[in-house]
Every structure is written in structure tokens, then in C-alpha cells.
Amino acid sequence: MSTSALPLYGHRSVQAEFLSAVESQRLHHAWIIEGPSGIGKARFATRLASILLGAVATPDDPAGATEDDPVMQKVLSAGHPDLKHVERQLNDKGNLKQDIAVEQIRELNAFFSLKPAMGGWRIGILDSLDEMNVSGLNAVLKTLEEPPAKALIFLISHMTTPILPTIRSRCQTLRLKALSEDDT
């Protein structure tokens, strides 16, 4: 049995929903992955991104690739040229900033303006909508309104702040639930 580099705990039905959209070739450009904190939303998004970027799934996990998969190696090392993960950064004192800076979103928008380096998708993971200010949210909205070809963005939401209706209306939603006792 092959072991996934990023094993999935719970969320199998939601994963199947996304993979069904991929198989139908009717993949939406923006997906909100929402659920309580600490249930694996960023891992879930990274798994899906790696498969879209060409990682080969294991026989027992349709969105899990092994650590020795060349694409997964690039994803795990944060070295895949077509994947950009955006999260809060550290300030000059080494503490986490309060928000994801609008400059980070502008960098994401610039990333999406480029052609895929490896000929497939350009994928962004924004972790999380709850950690953005109004300027950052407006900058994300620009990409959502005018999505480039072969670009996909995963927007993670911990559901601690309401998502702007203008953002929600331009995205598909994958709702992850708290993990069962067996999964934890």
C-alpha cells in the first residue's frame, strides 16, 4: 500500500466532489474551502493542487501522491513554479503580522498574469480570507472577476468572519466539517 505524502483524514466526500468537477472538465476557477480551524483545509487544498499540477495519485487515494513523486517533491519544498501559497508573514520583530498584506495579494495577481511554467495550471492557495483586510479582499476580487485561463485559486475560510457576498458569488464552496473522533 502506497502512503500519501499528505494523508487525508476525513473529508473524503468533499474531495470526491472536487475530483468529479475535475473529471467533468467543468472546473470552476475559484473555490472557497471553509470549515473550523485545525481540520486540514490548507492540507486539503495542497493535495488538490498537487494532483492538478500533475502528481500521480496512489491507488488507494485519488488525490494523494507519495513523497517520491517529482511534482509532490516540488510542492512539499515550496518550489513548484506554478503554485503560490499566500499566508500571513512575519514582521520585523519576528511576530506574525495581523493581516495578509495587500502587497501579497498583488504579487498573487501578478503570478496569475504569467503563463504556467510547466504547461498546466497556475494555482494559488490563499490562507485565509479571515486574515485579510478590506484592501486585500478588494485586490482578490479583481482576480475573481477577471480570471486568467488555466488559473485556479483556493480561498481558505475558518468561518470567523463573514465572506463578502461579491467574493462568495464568484466561487464554488467546499465545506469541510469537524473531524470525527476516529479521524482525530
Grid cell at residue 18: 472536487
Q: What is the mean pLDDT of residues 156-171?
A: 94
- Determine phi and psi for 101, rounding to 5 degrees: -70, 145
Q: What is the pTM of this model?
A: 0.93
Which tens digit of pLDDT belongs to each residue from 72-118? 999 999 999 999 999 999 999 999 999 999 999 999 999 999 999 99
pLDDT at 59 exceeding the cut of 60: yes
Closest C-alpha to 123, from 149, 157, 151: 151
- Quick check: 1 pLDDT over 60? no
Whether 34 shows a pLDDT value over 90: the answer reads: yes
SS3 of residue 82 by DSSP: coil
Quick one: DSSP state of residue 72?
A: H
